Amino acid sequence: MGRLFLLVVLLGLLALAAGMVVLGAFPPEPHPQQVQKVLPNDRFQRTQ
């Protein structure tokens, strides 16, 4: 039972390491989007 648990843990760690290597070698492409921020007009009212 102990060896089976150890085998499952080692396979999980191996899969995690392989996933990190793949992500390091082929990182996902960023999807840039334009950001527009609308400020309310009352912040720019002039007092005369």
List phi, psi (to 5°) of 29. -75, 135
Q: Is the pTM of this model over 0.75?
A: no
Q: What pLDDT is recorded for position 1?
A: 86
CA-CA distance, 1 to 7, in Å (whole number)?
10
Q: What pLDDT is recorded for position 10?
A: 97
pLDDT single digits (tens) 4-48: 999 999 999 999 999 999 999 999 999 999 999 888 877 777 666
**Could you write out the DSSP letters of every residue in the chain?**
-HHHHHHHHHHHHHHHHHHHHHHHHSPPPP-------PPPGGGGPPP-
Q: What pLDDT is recorded for position 44?
A: 74
